[in-house]
Amino acid sequence: MSELKNDRFLRALLKQPVDVTPVWMMRQAGRYLPEYRATRAKAGDFMSLCMNPELACEVTLQPLERYPLDAAILFSDILTIPDAMGLGLYFETGEGPRFRKEIKTKADIEQLPIPNPDKDLGYVMDAVRTIRRELNGRVPLIGFSGSPWTLATYMLEGGSSKDFRKSKAMLYDAPETLHLLLDKLAQSVTAYLNSQILAGAQAVQIFDTWGGSLSDVAYKEFSLNYMQRILQGLIRQHEGRTVPVILFTKNGGQWLEAMVEAGPEALGLDWTCDLGAARARVGERVALQGNMDPTVLYASPAAIRQEVARILARYGSGSGHVFNLGHGITPEVNPEHAGVFINAVHELSAAYHA
């Protein structure tokens, strides 16, 4: 494997000195880029794009051709694991993800297999290997998975949900049944992320998109508990380097201390959390990633720079900050505004690392 030419993302996650604050964007390979839309049209549909390692590599690298980003993130979807469990993932235009098979009962859950990532999700590992080869050490590659709770909500609801009524009904009526599903998912995610690491992912992020929908006690029992299990089972050293893990619970700002105890190298923050207060709470124990409101990118270049400056000032001097949006970049953003954001992070952060 080629030597990394730019490792400031990995260094910042380990709180080592950097020259400027590294930056990448969640969903940086996505619909806001015309070149992405062209490749997706060539693939035919979203899942065909995910399952074609050459095209997945192409879209992963597209934002790096435009912007001086400090990391690439594997192009895939969090719902590949439920799909590999036999649920039949498909996407309705304008509707989001759907499953052909529903999970309703304990018997349904008992029948679910734990996928073999190298066989059942081999297309993801082929994409990781292809991207690593094509990156040729330019920047690190991030692998990822959804959290068990987040994956469970999609499986139980049959797709996206606003109120999670089926998942939460099971949580309160039949907690042991939900624990059975979450246990299978935690085993699946651990194996999946480890396979990504062995294939070449140099850091991994766990997306707990819906953890913030839970009560305090339910979050700790049904979400964080399973992410901690995954962290305990992950490969943390590979290719002579630490493989940092980023834990990201959207709307999870009230649980930062508990998340630190789970053992990640970094916590992702959404934009509802004050970065300075978060740094004071976690101290030197973890790095922080985030946390600009993605909709700031709809504002003027001057306003974007002003918000970048404010967030950098809130974090303050020293390493341990990876700049990111508080959630994924949205499809209607002008690609030039994304460029203003990325350049502003590098330009304005140098003073904090002098």
As annotated, the binding site for substrate includes 27-31, 77, 154, 209, 327
Q: Clarify whether 77 is annotated catalytic.
A: yes
27 is catalytic: yes
Other C-beta atoms closer than 10 Å to the C-beta of 221 total 18
Task: List residues forming the annotated binding site.
Answer: 27-31, 77, 154, 209, 327
CA 271: distance to chain centroid? 15
Partner residues linked to 101 by β-bridges = none
Residue in 37, 40, 98, 138 annotated catalytic: 40
Q: Do the beta carbons of residue 145 and residue 219 sit within 8 Å? A: no
Rounded to the nearest 5°, which phi and psi values hold at 321? -125, 125
Q: How far apart are CA 170 and CA 147, in angstroms?
A: 18
Q: Is-catalytic flag, 129?
A: no
The active-site residue, picked from 37, 66, 77, 138, is: 77
Catalytic residue chosen out of the listed positions 36, 154, 219, 315: 154
Judged by DSSP in three states, 269 sits in coil
Q: Tell me, what DSSP letter sits at residue 144?
A: E
Contact (Cβ atoms closer than 8 angstroms) between residue 56 and residue 127: yes
H-type helices in the chain, by residue range? 8-13, 34-43, 46-50, 53-66, 80-82, 106-110, 117-120, 122-135, 148-157, 165-173, 175-199, 216-219, 225-233, 256-261, 275-282, 301-315, 335-349
Identify the active-site residue in 7, 8, 11, 27: 27
Amino acid letter for position 190 = T
Q: Is 163 exposed, middle or buried (0-12, 13-18, 19+ CB in 10 A)?
A: exposed
Q: SS3 breakdown of the chain: % helix, strand, coil, rounded to 5? A: 55, 15, 35
Residues annotated as part of the active site: 27, 31, 40, 77, 154
